[in-house]
Structure 1
Amino acid sequence: MGYRALYRVWRPQQFTDLVGQQLITQTLKNAIAAKQTSHAYLFTGPRGTGKTSAAKIFAKAINCHFQKNGEPCNQCEICRAITEGRLNDVIEIDAASNNSVDEIRDIREKVKYAPTQADYKIYIIDEVHMLSTGAFNALLKTLEEPPANVIFILATTEPYKIPATIISRTQRFDFHRINDQTLIKRMEYILKQEKVTFDPAALEVIAKAAAGGMRDALSMLDQVLSFGNHQATLKDALLVTGSVAQEQLAAYLRAVFSQQAAPAFQQIQQLLADGKDPNQLFEGLIDYCRQLLLQQTVFKDQKGESNQVLISLAKKIPTKVIYQALDILSQEQQAMRFATHQEVYLDVATVKLCQLKSNDRAATTAPAEAEITKLQTEVMTLKKQLDQLVQRSKPEEKPVHEPKKVSVTKQTKIQPNLKAIYTVLGSASRESLDELKDVWQDLMAKLSVTQRAIMNVSQPVAASQTAAVISFQYAFLFEKAVENQQLQTQLVTDLASLLGRQVKLTFLPQEQWPQIRKNYLKEYQHNKAESTKSVTKQAVSAKNSQALAAQKIWGKDAEKLVEFKDD
């Protein structure tokens, strides 16, 4: 006989072997021992949690003449026939491929016949939610009036797709995800029975990747053993599952919490180069931050050599900062789901995490920075007052069309170029803006990873044939873009290749854009009104000049001879 997968070899044959579902197994054992079983059961839960295994064990136990306390003996002919899948009285049906009305009608016809060998005829319908509406209606009739020696066991991963009329005629058991420690203990037991050497850390990685499914855990363990020449090592487990080593996660978080952006970016790039999935990286970082919180609150008094790095990092990072980091990671992971270039969100998250003040140096310099900020604010206020005094003394020197200063809620170190923005608005068109938006994603794809991290949250808001205004969702990224001359040159060059013409770009923070646009429209209306007044004055002046000339020629009766009409 050829090689059999671990999950098939070690499929549970008794209720006691079905780990992680003690409440369900005990209830079923008691019902069988007391001969108080139902005519129909519904087993629901995630894949690989033991639904089909429990159904087969139930079929053996209820038909076993030597069962003890609800457990099958697994030695009699009935038990062995069910285990080997050759008993005609236990019928397994895959509803995914047998979901029509005809298949269920066939069951209704055959259900009338008595069992040939066993005491009960058992129908196990897997993935029952795949049945059609007509098939469910046909099944409902059988469940309403079942023969005394027939039991239906329905299994599904999506119970919400099953009609309520079906559910109400069954006893429902919800199988839950199996916790990591239970998965690890089961894998340890199997490996010891198979006499295979293993690294406990490898089993922890596999259990975490299995996400509560025993079958998935054993399948991944099988892959690790095949890859590692019948050994389970941590390195092989990380490669097979695509998980990230705790040391790498710790190194990354240590870098960002110390505001060391360069090492953090290098760590991310190395992980991506190794083939790690961005979503798995987010999951790993979120889980590690969770472990930091648990270490600070629940396990703060526990010691151990295996988690010294975690303990050391937990002591240095304030709890508030970890909460902020979790928010950032969760938000960026959510935003990443529908993105084409998912790695960009890792870069954005890295930039945001590096902005968090967490180390001791930041704590000690915080008062000094606050004082500097206060002084800067006072200087800006005095400068503004001085400018106002100068403008009052020279009112004629300021043109009417000069852009007004924009008051914003959040002070930024670098202010947008209002003159350039107003110039773009003066000749902006919807066609130019739509054309720029159409190529914007292609433009982002041409940038390097670091450049995309800055430009990822930007978008064009106004454009003409020769220039455009780009807004940034975050003010600090706006400042980085303004200061990065290499980035600006790259944007203009790549944009020229996409549009076939040079387009000059002007940046501003997104929060300032509504006020700037409002001020421009107000200024535009004012200038238009002033222009209209000027034209009217010129017309009146011309009319007076004509009247004066006529009076000189015709005398006092000129007004009677000359009639002026407005156009």
Structure 2
Amino acid sequence: MAYQALYRVWRPQRFADIVGQETITQTLRNALEAHQTSHAYLFTGPRGTGKTSAAKIFAKAINCPNLKDGEPCNECPSCLAITAGTLNDVIEIDAASNNGVDEIRDIRDKAKYAPTSAPYKVYIIDEVHMLSTGAFNALLKTLEEPPSHVVFILATTEPHKVPLTIISRTQRFDFQRISAQAIYSRMSYILQEKGITFEEPALKTIAKAAEGGMRDALSVLDQVLSFSDNHVTLENALQVTGSAAQKLLADYMQAVQAHNTPQALELLQQVLAAGKDAGRFIEDLIEYSRDLLLYQQAPAMVEQIELGSVDEQFKQLSQAFAAADLYRAIDVLNDSQQQLRFTNHPDIYLEVATVKLCQTQAAATTATVAAVPETTAEISQLQQELKTLQQQLTTLQTNGTPAAAPAAVAPRRAAKQHTNVAAIYPVLDHATKDSLQQLKSIWAELLQQLTVQHRALMRASKPVAASHDGVVVSFDSDFLLDRANSNQEMVDALENGLDRLVGYTPKIIFVPQDEWPQVRKSYIKQHQRTKTPEAESAVAEKAPVISQAETLFGAEHLEIKND
């Protein structure tokens, strides 16, 4: 007999053999024992989680005369025929290739006839979401009121594509992804039954690569067995799955943490030279970074995810990385993963991502170190002020008179920056109402293109005057204005965003909101004779009639409209 794949040879034949779906199998067994089975079931879940196997076992159990504890005997003629696929009363249909109205009408017509050799006629429709709208409509009535001897079992990986009218007529069971530990245990059992030796790390690698699908895991195991002459080794498992060894991932992240760009690039070249898939390598790095982050908060969870293979190097890395650094690393890797989908040169993006990871970590560390002296100086100054106040209090308590006023303590906050009138006036010379309205209309979209930190910095801003060469932006917070003025990276991002949105790059000048009216007033006075009509339209003072009306009726009762 020709060789059969492992997932076919070891397909579950009893509910107890289905791995990772204990709740569902127990419910079905109870229903069979109590003779309270439904006429229609819907099995949903990811691929390789046991949906079709459960459907076949249910078909055997409901037709088995020797049912025991809800399990089929697998020895009677009915069970043997269903296992071999030769029982005419159990009909398997692939909806992907039989998705038309005619095929479903044929099922509906034949369902009326009694089964030939079994108590029940069972229809198993796989990938039912592939049926056309007309086919679903043709199935509705039969599914709602089928003959008493018919059971429908629908299986799908995409339940959201199944009409609600169909779902409401079935009992739905959601199959979950199988845990890596359960997959590992099942593969270990199969290999022991076959008398094949294996390395535990190899099975753990396959279990993690399967991503919750038992069929995928057994397919990969089949490849490894063929590749390694009936001995499962870690090296061969890594070769087949395209994954990188944990030691290599740990060394790479250690180089990133140490800002050692040459070493990180050298390790990357080793990965590429070994023929590893670039997308798989980035996915492994994201998972490794995720595990480092989780281990800081929930070590037991990571132990379970990694099947107990957490080594000392991993623990040290988890302590060495700050959570914020891991957030940034995952963001960089995720961006690179998206870019890989649209390139034929993944090695370039991997190299760029590696340099960016190392430099990002270095920049973050430098910024932290630079902030320490300022913080220390501020603490010392506060301590000195506290000491002075304590001395004053002691003098008052002793003499009953206030002590001499201490020397003024230098203010901790930097002096308020003066408005850059020299830069604002040239903008006002050519400012127009149309330019200002254009910027106001795209301002929200412009801020959405910034990073989260930069958006938070600009949340208190709005454009108040604009020309083709410049834009005046007011801030209602002096603190945020000072931060914005000192953040050249954000200013560059704003100018680049304006270039993309409006087609030109105006210079951006920041001004305090409470100073803007005075700046505008001063400009009008100084340019009363030379200002252009456009500038007058953009920054002109209120007309006398408007001022008089506000005096008489109050500004809140006026609505000013431009002609």
Match of 1:391 in 2: none
- Mean Cα displacement is larger for which, 189-198 or 349-358? 349-358
Q: How many Å separate the matches in 2 of 1:305 and 1:341?
A: 34
Match of 1:93 in 2: 93
Once the two structures are TM-superposed, the CA of residue 105 in structure 1 deviates from its matched residue by: 1.4
Question: Which residue is equivalent to 1:83?
Answer: 83
Are 2:285 and 1:297 equivalent residues in the alignment?
no
The residue type equivalent to 2:192 in the other structure is K
The equivalent residue for 2:481 is: none
Residue of structure 1 aligned with 2:353, choices 342, 349, 354: 349
Residue 62 of structure 1 aligns with which residue?
62
Q: What is the DSSP-based 3-state SS (H/G/I as helix, E as strand, rest coil) of the residue aligned with 1:27?
A: helix
Alignment-mate amino acid for residue 187 of structure 1: M
- The correspondence for 1:311, drawn from 287, 296, 315, is 315
Q: 1:327 to 1:206 in 2, by over 3 A?
A: same
Note closer, same or farther for the CA distance 1:245–1:148 as it changes in structure 2 (3 Å cut): same
Q: Paired residue for 1:320, among 324, 331, 355?
A: 324
Counterpart for residue 278 of structure 2: 278
SS in 2 for 1:155: strand
Whole-Å Cα distance in 1 between the matches of residues 362 and 318 of structure 2? 11
Note the C-alpha offset of 1:360. 13
Residue pairs, 1:478-517, within 5 angstroms: 509-511=492-494, 517=505
What is the DSSP-based 3-state SS (H/G/I as helix, E as strand, rest coil) of the residue aligned with 1:217? helix
One-letter identity of the residue aligned with 1:217: A
Distance 1:363 1:99, change over 3 A: closer
SS where residue 43 of structure 1 aligns?
strand
- SS of alignment partner, residue 259 of structure 1: coil
- Cα distance in 1, alignment partners of residues 175 and 250 from structure 2: 35
> Could you say if the C-alpha distance between residues 139 and 247 of structure 1 is closer, same or farther in structure 2, counting changes exceeding 3 Å?
same
Whole-Å Cα distance in 2 between the matches of residues 262 and 512 of structure 1? 34
The 1:100–1:211 alpha-carbon spacing in structure 2 relative to 1, beyond 3 Å, is: same
* Offset of residue 275 of structure 1: 2.5
1:342 shift after superposition: 3.8
SS of residue in 2 equivalent to 1:116: coil
Change (3 A) 1:369 1:256: farther
> Cα deviation per residue 1:300-319 (whole Å; 9 max; x = unaligned)?
899x8861221222232223
CA contact (8 A) 1:357 1:363 kept: no
Deviations 1:192-245 (A, max 9, x none): 101111111111111111110000000000000000111111110111011111
Residue 264 of structure 1 and its aligned partner are, at CA, apart by: 1.1
- Tell whether the 8 Å contact from 1:125 to 1:155 is kept in structure 2 after alignment: yes
Deviation readout 1:244-272 (Å, 9 max, x if unpaired): 11111111111111111111122223322
User: 1:129-528, aligned counterparts within 5 Å?
Assistant: 129-299=129-299, 307-357=311-361, 366=370, 509-511=492-494, 517-519=505-507
Distance 2:139 2:505 in 1: 65
Q: Which residue pairs with 1:455 in the alignment?
A: none
Indicate how the Cα distance of structure 1 residues 274 and 199 shifts in structure 2: closer, same or farther if over 3 A, else same.
Answer: same
1:106 and 2:109 equivalent?
A: no
Q: Deviations over 1:104-145 (max 9, x none)?
A: 111122111111111101111111111112211111121122
Q: Following the alignment from structure 1 to structure 2, what is the Cα–Cα distance between the partners of residues 102 and 87?
A: 23
Larger Rg: 1
- Against the structure 1 CA distance between its residues 368 and 153, is the aligned structure 2 distance closer, same or farther, given a 3 Å change threshold? closer
Contact 2:42–2:153 (Cα < 8 Å) also in 1? yes
In the alignment, structure 1 segments of 5+ residues that lack a partner are 372-380, 389-402, 406-477, 480-507, 521-532, 534-567
Q: CA contact under 8 A between 1:244 and 1:284: conserved in structure 2? A: yes
Report if the CA contact (8 A) 2:14-2:71 is conserved: yes
Question: SS of the residue aligned with 1:87?
Answer: coil
2:251 is paired with a residue whose SS is: helix
Cα deviation code 1:317-355 (max 9, x no counterpart):
223322332233233334544455444433333233213
**For 1:38, what is the secondary structure of its paired residue?**
coil
What is the number of equivalent residue pairs in this alignment?
Answer: 414
Q: Is the 8 A contact 1:197 1:232 kept in 2?
A: yes
**Are the counterparts in 2 of residues 44 and 155 from structure 1 also a CA contact under 8 Å?**
yes
Indicate if the aligned counterparts of 2:15 and 2:57 stay in contact, CA closer than 8 A.
Answer: yes
Question: Are the structure 2 counterparts of residues 366 and 71 from structure 1 closer, same or farther at C-alpha, using a change threshold of 3 Å?
Answer: same
| Residue of structure 1 in register with 2:24 after alignment | 24
Q: Output the amino acid matched with 2:51.
A: K
Corresponding residue for 1:127? 127
- CA gap 1:519/1:54 in 2 versus in 1, 3 angstroms: closer
- What TM-score, normalized to structure 1? 0.65
Alpha carbons 1:258, 1:359 under 8 Å: kept: no
- Separation of aligned partners in 1, 2:139 and 2:27: 26
1: distance between equivalents of 2:230 and 2:367?
A: 51
Q: Deviations over 1:48-107 (max 9, x none)?
A: 110000000001111111110110011111111111111111111111111111111111
Go from structure 1 to structure 2 and tell me whether the alpha carbon gap of 1:369 and 1:351 turns closer, same or farther (over 3 Å shift).
Answer: farther
Contact 2:257/2:320 (CA < 8 Å) preserved in 1? no
TM-score relative to the length of structure 2: 0.65
State, as a whole percentage, how many aligned pairs show the same letter.
59
Residue 322 and residue 116 in structure 1: after superposition, are their counterparts in 2 closer, same or farther (change >3 A)? same
In the TM superposition, residue 362 of structure 1 has moved relative to its aligned partner by 6.2
Q: How many Å separate the matches in 2 of 1:227 and 1:196?
A: 14
Is the CA contact 2:495–2:507 (under 8 Å) kept in the aligned structure 1?
no
1:441-480 Cα offsets, whole Å, 9 max, x none, are xxxxxxxxxxxxxxxxxxxxxxxxxxxxxxxxxxxxx99x
Corresponding residue of 1:117: 117
**Structure 2 letter corresponding to 1:139:** L
- Aligned equivalents of 1:322 and 1:51: distance in 2? 38
C-alpha contact 2:89 2:118 (8 A) present in aligned 1? yes
Do 1:318 and 1:358's aligned partners in 2 also have CA atoms closer than 8 Å? no
Contact 2:15 2:71 in 1 (8 A): yes
| Distance apart, 1:364 and its partner CA | 9.6
CA distance in 1, matches of 2:184, 2:374: 51
Q: Which amino acid aligns with 2:263?
A: P
Report Cα offsets for 1:5-64 as digits up to 9, x if no partner. 100010000000001001110010000000000011111111111000000000111111
